[in-house]
A and B are shown apart, each in its own frame.
Chain A
């Protein structure tokens, strides 16, 4: 049997508890659309009998009311880790898909003014020259269409190069963001540890910590593991980027000058872990991984293929052109050269004078034969087919990356949905919780009133006879 005022204590604990419940509900409602906010839930614990009240005594009360067991932040670390992984993969694929789609749009194929149109014009010009090899106008057309073809190939290479320049700039920007975020995350880790030691609620710090870890995963594809002190340790490419309250730094060691231009070497990244030596890292995911892949493999590959097609074109035309004879009956010269370093390259037009075009297939002085021009027109079919194959393969690559990104998006949004299910704030739920707490609070207050009147009876009325 507890003391006279025991129940008042219980009612007071209920008032305190339900006030906290309403406070937390209002916090949840306030943050319904806050990014990275995980809903909180008050866990009540009934205060019961002490296990061992005192020596030689026993507890005969009915409990001491309620107290706040904990305020839980509803997250699932496994789900968070999964979400970080999927987001890393997603941003990697998105970066690639966006860059490839830009390059693809600039191809101008299959029906635009791309290389295939220029090639078709050149072929027709050679055919026309075969029909009228003596016409200066037709000879000039061959030169001008060839020049257009050279420009079209150069434009293609420039498109790839400017995409490379963009990717280099965005890679540098991403690296800066990564290093800043890593330092911020390290600071947040320290603050979480301090808050836990001081007994403060670290929930909002944890929200921030998770947000930063997610962004780091999107940038680098790094994995984060919770350490003993409530912080997140981030590992990128097998090397620690954030370890407790210390952050490392990710840097470019080769491939990009500080001003964003290329230094001509293959791209290399290194990560200096906290208190360690710089280690080369590769195979990153996320935006940086996507940009690095584009810069090391995809875009240089495209550039090489364009050069290879130019080379084939030059070889094909040169071989036939050199076997022919120009307007004066002299043997044909080289028509094209390939110089990847040239200003308007990789294809360079060597014949400038229309009279130097070797239209005739018959030597021994000037004549009006157009056999060689027709032969060149037919020979152009080979480089044309190579170019068509290049466009098709590239289109397949773009479609496949886009499909992968779409599939990944389904996965990512599924994981995001699962996280939202667990951590998101539901207004109805909060309203119900609030009403429940309100009613419980009213009831506890009612208990107070009842007890008051009971005590009134006991104190003021006992023994009085009317």
Chain B
């Protein structure tokens, strides 16, 4: 813009508007520094604001996935120890049965062994009804409090076959439960029935009957081992997913901070520069506005 003629009010107005501009840049930098953020409203940078919102939502999702994985780990750990205990109980029952086969046991000894089998059975029923946060871990999605119900000396499955799913990553859903029959066999042919039969066989003293009971228990034991292995595999999958969710959250948070947080050294340097510029503008203004021809006339 070519300036042909400069007037006093032009000088004043321009100085004022430039000082205003300088001051508003100062206040912008001050906002960046005091809030610690360069993105304070969507219009500051619409594209970055969009990324920031997406990243923030993704961070929230990853946090939730991590929490879901943690909850799933709780289930799987409980299942693991439950199945471990159940395996121990079944192994003990098989040892007791072996004793009944090998020793030429007396009636009293057999009775004692049979009672022990029955006790093992009742603690196995207790183990099978282990709960996690008040839910039977082997009961699927049952609304009841127990996975197995005992009525008239017969234990039947009271849960359902529905999976207990945990979303541990985008589109990744892991079933963190084992349905009762998967660990203890189907109703009418489950581990508890086998133990009852074994106790009866020991009382009866028939070696053949005891042997077939032991064979059934061996199958039961290996079913428990298979179930436990499966739980272990899922457990490591969920754990990996949880770790991945944590890692992803960290890198997303970094990206978010990159976008919306103030680069402190840069902002500080800019603030200093702006401060100097403002002071220079003030000094220049005070010098430009002062002189007038009247100062030099006598």
The residues of A with any CB-CB pair to B shorter than 8 Å are 32-33, 101, 104-105, 107, 109-111, 116, 119-120, 123-124, 127-128, 130-132, 134-135, 360, 362, 365-371, 374, 377-378, 384, 388-389, 391-396, 398-399, 402, 413-414, 416-417, 420-422, 424-428, 431-432, 435
* Contact partners of B37 in chain A: CB under 8 A: 111
Residue of B nearest to A128 (CB): B67
* Contact A413–B17 (Cβ < 8 Å): yes
A116 to B292, CA, bound (A): 59
Residue of B nearest to A104 (CB): B41
Interface string of B26-66 (1 = CB under 8 A from A): 00000000000101011111110110111011001101100
Residue of A nearest to B52 (CB): A110
* Contact partners of B53 in chain A: CB under 8 A: 109-110, 116, 388, 391-392
Q: List 17 A-B contacts (CB under 8 A).
A: A110-B52, A110-B56, A111-B52, A116-B53, A123-B60, A132-B133, A362-B162, A368-B135, A374-B165, A384-B57, A388-B50, A392-B47, A392-B50, A395-B50, A425-B9, A426-B8, A428-B292
Report the minimum CB–CB distance from B71 to chain A (whole Å). 5
A395 to B50, CA, bound (A): 9
* Contact partners of B14 in chain A: CB under 8 A: 417
Given A368-B141, A368-B142, A371-B165: A32 and B56 within 8 A (CB)?
A: no
Q: Is B269 an interface residue (CB 8 A)?
A: no
* Contact B49–A420 (Cβ < 8 Å): no
* Contact partners of B71 in chain A: CB under 8 A: 131-132
* Contact A426–B6 (Cβ < 8 Å): yes
* Contact partners of A370 in chain B: CB under 8 A: 164-165
Report the minimum CB–CB distance from A355 to chain B (whole Å). 12
* Contact partners of A399 in chain B: CB under 8 A: 43-46
* Contact partners of A426 in chain B: CB under 8 A: 5-8
* Contact A394–B42 (Cβ < 8 Å): yes
Given A111-B56, A394-B42, A435-B297: A420 and B9 within 8 A (CB)?
A: yes
* Contact B134–A134 (Cβ < 8 Å): yes
- Residues of B113-134 contacting chain A, CB below 8 A: 133-134
* Contact partners of B47 in chain A: CB under 8 A: 392
Interface string of B257-298 (1 = CB under 8 A from A): 000100000000000000000000000000000001110010
* Contact B293–A362 (Cβ < 8 Å): no
* Contact A105–B41 (Cβ < 8 Å): yes
Among all A-B residue pairs, the 9 with the closest Cβ atoms: A395-B42, A424-B7, A398-B43, A395-B46, A392-B50, A369-B141, A399-B43, A366-B143, A396-B46
* Contact A392–B49 (Cβ < 8 Å): yes
* Contact A395–B49 (Cβ < 8 Å): yes
A359 to B83, CA, bound (A): 29
* Contact A134–B135 (Cβ < 8 Å): yes
The residues of B with any CB-CB pair to A shorter than 8 Å are 1, 3-10, 13-14, 17, 37, 39, 41-47, 49-50, 52-54, 56-57, 60-61, 63-64, 67-68, 71, 133-135, 141-143, 160, 162, 164-167, 173, 260, 292-294, 297
Residue of B nearest to A413 (CB): B17
Report the minimum CB–CB distance from A48 to chain B (whole Å). 31
Residue of A nearest to B35 (CB): A111
Residue of B nearest to A423 (CB): B7
A425 to B11, CA, bound (A): 11
**Partner among B9, B43, B57 whose Cβ is within 8 Å of the Cβ of A116:** B57
* Contact partners of B160 in chain A: CB under 8 A: 367
* Contact B39–A425 (Cβ < 8 Å): no
**Partner among B4, B165, B297 whose Cβ is within 8 Å of the Cβ of A431:** B297
Given A110-B53, A388-B53, A421-B6: A369 and B162 within 8 A (CB)?
A: yes
* Contact B10–A110 (Cβ < 8 Å): no
A388 to B293, CA, bound (A): 61
* Contact A417–B10 (Cβ < 8 Å): yes
A396 to B49, CA, bound (A): 10
* Contact partners of B46 in chain A: CB under 8 A: 392-393, 395-396, 399
Report the minimum CB–CB distance from B44 to chain A (whole Å). 8
* Contact partners of B133 in chain A: CB under 8 A: 132, 135
Residue of B nearest to A134 (CB): B135
Pick the most buried of B5, B68, B141, B160: most chain A CB atoms within 10 A of its CB.
Answer: B141
* Contact A367–B143 (Cβ < 8 Å): yes
* Contact partners of B260 in chain A: CB under 8 A: 110-111
* Contact A421–B49 (Cβ < 8 Å): no
* Contact partners of B9 in chain A: CB under 8 A: 32-33, 420, 424-425
A306 to B209, CA, bound (A): 75
Residue of A nearest to B54 (CB): A388
A190 to B133, CA, bound (A): 90
* Contact B143–A365 (Cβ < 8 Å): yes
Report the minimum CB–CB distance from A330 to chain B (whole Å). 13
* Contact partners of B297 in chain A: CB under 8 A: 431, 435
* Contact B10–A424 (Cβ < 8 Å): yes
